């Protein structure tokens, strides 16, 4: 007993001396996650028809078979484990969250001695929360952050990313939850890698695994592989060791293959749905010459009959999956062809970009649809700081020129540091910061190309997440500049501390 007590005291002392700030921040985040996601009445997201794709990988189904019970616009916490598909690794519409769902199902079954098959979605929230906390920890322990900057980073993460509009996805089967946690973990493993003077191979492996998970968390993220390959190239250039470069090459190939597998796992129905919406709810939406647009896309004008009609409206005489559509429409349209259309019509692309800005940050205070039936409470503890900030300054958050101005300044500063700095870690850091910019800015047009205005506000989620991360980076950078100026005025750069700060 005394031996165990001694170990605990030694561990506590180590945490206090080395990770005090990180520990305090993680404790605060954990309390918020616990109160919002795990203590009744819990908050989450209700099913809009997208849950089935992920549920399949956990062998999970709805308890009720009645359509009105399933889609009653309330949060469901309990699901039936019909056949634990633990070894069903890969199949149609595969996403990386399927791995996390399997882990959650295994934990649930183990915790209940494999005798209870009513799955509680909070076990999935637990897995998401654990990964999120790990990602935050790795980011905060980045060696370029001074104690002051760690505190600022931690406070920002608490205020912005524990907002209910973000973490409510943890109690759901939506892909946005995976996007959040894998993005944070991807950034965290990258910072851990570049902070090492001579990193071990396993640090590269961690980064490649998490980047693959992020890129495959939703089909919408797959095009970001192009930008991630630039980050991989940077690693290859700056790490000259033979073993390093071999690992980077192998990792790059494997991630590319995983992304390709995820893309080809998409079912025909999903692809057809996206193409249908990208044309009839995208290209033709707001067009002055819709018939001409169809012709330019290489499609017969007779398909104008589908203009303004939902893909899911299959009961009418015009079936979006009818023989004519399958034979003459879908084979002639592709995302590349739609992108080509917008490139040839820059004014139309600009209109879509402005629409994306107008629909960004469509956050809302939770309503009855975020609670289980009859458990809606206005007194529920939750962090709504980010959501209320958006409501208070709507013009700023929906202004395309504000997005462009911020993006340009952010880009110029990153390039400046990349060119000016001689430090490998700083130059590699700027590559990741530029990847975050590319991830966010690309969402002004990629969702429109991919699926038009279908579920548009939800498809802009990565835009919201990326720009919030960049805003946090900007605040930390600004605090760093002030910190450097303060020590320069007070001590000069002969002081070791200020010298280390100056090296940033």
Q: What is the pLDDT of residues 415-471, one digit of tens each?
A: 999 999 999 999 999 999 999 999 999 999 988 888 777 777 888 999 999 999 999
Q: For residue 326, give the 3-state DSSP assignment.
A: helix
Domain locations along the chain: 2-266
pLDDT digits (tens, 9 = 90+) for 369-390: 999 998 999 899 999 999 999 9
pLDDT in tens, 175-204: 999 999 999 999 999 999 999 989 999 999
| The two three-digit tokens of residue 228, written as one number | 């991630």
Q: Are the beta carbons of 187 and 473 closer than 8 angstroms?
A: no
User: For 154-163, 347-356, 400-409, which range has the lowest pLDDT when averaged over its residues?
Assistant: 347-356
CA distance linking residue 257 with residue 208, whole number of Å: 12
- Residue 312 — pLDDT band, cuts 50, 70, 90? confident
Written as six digits, the tokens of 112 are 């209940």
pLDDT, tens digit (0-9, with 9 covering 90-100), for 69-99: 899 999 999 999 987 666 677 888 899 999 9
- Burial (Cβ within 10 Å: 0-12, 13-18, ≥19) of residue 412: exposed
Q: pLDDT at residue 146 above 70?
A: yes
pLDDT of the residue at 499? 44
Q: Read off the pLDDT band of 495 (50, 70, 90).
A: very low
- Mean pLDDT for the stretch of residues 466-491: 89
Cβ 273 vs Cβ 313: under 8 Å: no
Q: Which residue has the tokens 């005394």?
A: 2
Contact 284, 242 (CB under 8 A): no
Are 442 and 462 in contact by the 8 Å Cβ rule? The answer is no
Mean pLDDT, the chain, rounded, equals 89
Strand partners, 60: 81
User: Under 8 Å CB-to-CB from 166, ≥6 apart: which residues?
Assistant: 160, 180, 386, 465
Q: Which two tokens stand for residue 122?
A: 């909070």
Give the span between the Cα atoms of 288 and 408, in whole angstroms.
32
**What average pLDDT score do residues 97-104 get?**
95
Instruction: Give residue-wise pLDDT tens across range 24-75.
Output: 999 999 999 999 999 999 999 999 888 988 998 988 999 988 988 899 999 9
Contact (Cβ atoms closer than 8 angstroms) between residue 180 and residue 169:
yes
DSSP string, 349-418: HHHHHHHHHHHS-------GGGS-TT---TT-----HHHHHHHHSHHHHT-HHHHHHHHHHHHHHHHHHH
Percent residues over pLDDT 90 in the chain = 65
How large is the greatest C-alpha to C-alpha distance in the chain, in angstroms? 83
Burial of 376 per CB tally in 10 Å (0-12, 13-18, 19+): middle
Q: How far apart are CA 312 and CA 317, in angstroms?
A: 13
The CA angle 406-463-426, to the nearest 5 degrees, is 60
CA dihedral angle for residue 483, residue 486, residue 489, residue 494, rounded to 10 degrees: -40
Please name the helix (run of DSSP H) or strand (run of DSSP E) that holds residue 201, with its range, or none: helix 201-215
Q: What are phi and psi of 172, to 5 degrees?
A: -165, 175
CB atoms within 10 A of CB 402: 15
DSSP 330: G
CA–CA gap between residue 381 and residue 114 (Å, rounded): 33
CB atoms under 10 Å from CB of 249, counted, come to 12
Parallel, antiparallel, or unpaired: how do β-strands 78-81 and 60-61 relate? antiparallel
Torsion angle in degrees (nearest 10) through CA of 384, 387, 388, 389: 120
For 116-120, 255-259, 323-327, 449-453, which range has the lowest pLDDT when averaged over its residues?
Answer: 449-453
Q: Give the torsion sign (CA, 104, 109, 112, 115).
A: positive
Q: Where are the alpha helices (DSSP H) in 239-368?
A: 242-264, 268-278, 290-296, 323-324, 335-344, 346-359
Bridge partners, 118 (sequence order): 80
Distance CA 48, CA 470 (A): 30
Query: What average pLDDT does this structure show over 6-15?
Result: 56
Local structure of residue 42 (DSSP, 8 states): P
User: Of residues 386 and 294, which shows the higher confidence score?
Assistant: 386
């Amino acid at each position: 007993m005394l031996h165990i007590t001694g170990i605990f005291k030694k561990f506590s002392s180590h945490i206090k001396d080395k990770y005090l700030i990180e520990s305090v921040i993680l404790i605060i985040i954990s309390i918020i996650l616990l109160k919002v996601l795990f203590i009744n009445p819990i908050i989450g997201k209700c099913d809009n028809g997208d849950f089935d794709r992920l549920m399949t990988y956990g062998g999970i189904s709805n308890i009720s078979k009645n359509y009105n019970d399933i889609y009653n616009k309330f949060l469901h916490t309990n699901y039936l484990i019909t056949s634990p598909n633990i070894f069903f690794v890969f199949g149609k519409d595969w996403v990386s969250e399927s791995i996390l769902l399997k882990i959650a199902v295994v934990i649930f079954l183990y915790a209940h001695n494999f005798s209870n098959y009513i799955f509680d979605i909070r076990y999935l929230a637990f897995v998401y929360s654990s990964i999120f906390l790990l990602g935050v920890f790795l980011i905060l322990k980045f060696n370029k952050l001074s104690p002051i900057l760690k505190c600022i980073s931690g406070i920002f993460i608490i205020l912005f990313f524990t907002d209910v509009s973000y973490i409510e996805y943890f109690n759901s089967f939506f892909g946005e939850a995976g996007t959040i946690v894998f993005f944070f973990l991807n950034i965290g493993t990258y910072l851990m890698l570049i902070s090492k003077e001579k990193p071990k191979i396993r640090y590269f492996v961690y980064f490649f695994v998490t980047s693959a998970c992020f890129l495959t968390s939703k089909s919408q993220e797959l095009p970001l592989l192009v930008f991630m390959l630039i980050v991989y190239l940077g690693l290859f250039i700056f790490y000259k060791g033979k073993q390093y470069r071999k690992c980077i090459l192998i990792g790059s190939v494997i991630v590319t293959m995983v992304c390709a597998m995820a893309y080809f796992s998409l079912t025909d129905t999903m692809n057809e749905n996206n193409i249908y919406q990208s044309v009839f709810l995208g290209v033709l939406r707001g067009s002055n010459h819709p018939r001409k647009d169809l012709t330019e896309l290489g499609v017969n004008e007779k398909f104008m009959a589908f203009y303004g009609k939902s893909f899911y409206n299959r009961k009418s005489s015009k079936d979006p999956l009818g023989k004519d559509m399958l034979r003459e429409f879908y084979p002639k349209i592709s995302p590349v062809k739609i992108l080509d259309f917008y490139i040839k019509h820059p004014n139309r692309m600009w209109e879509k970009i402005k629409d994306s800005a107008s629909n960004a940050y469509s956050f809302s205070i939770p309503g009855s649809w975020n609670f289980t039936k009859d458990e809606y409470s206005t007194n529920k503890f939750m962090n709504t700081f980010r959501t209320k900030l958006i409501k208070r300054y709507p013009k700023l958050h929906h202004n395309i020129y504000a997005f462009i101005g911020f993006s340009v300044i952010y880009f110029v500063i990153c390039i400046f540091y990349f060119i000016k700095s001689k430090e490998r870690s700083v130059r590699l850091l700027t590559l990741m910061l530029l990847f975050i910019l590319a991830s966010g800015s690309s969402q002004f047009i990629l969702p429109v190309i991919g699926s038009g205005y279908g579920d548009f506000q939800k498809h802009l989620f990565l835009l919201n997440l990326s720009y919030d991360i960049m805003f946090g980076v900007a605040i930390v950078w600004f605090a760093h500049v002030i910190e450097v100026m303060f020590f320069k005025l007070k001590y000069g750069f002969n002081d070791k501390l200020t010298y280390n700060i100056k090296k940033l």
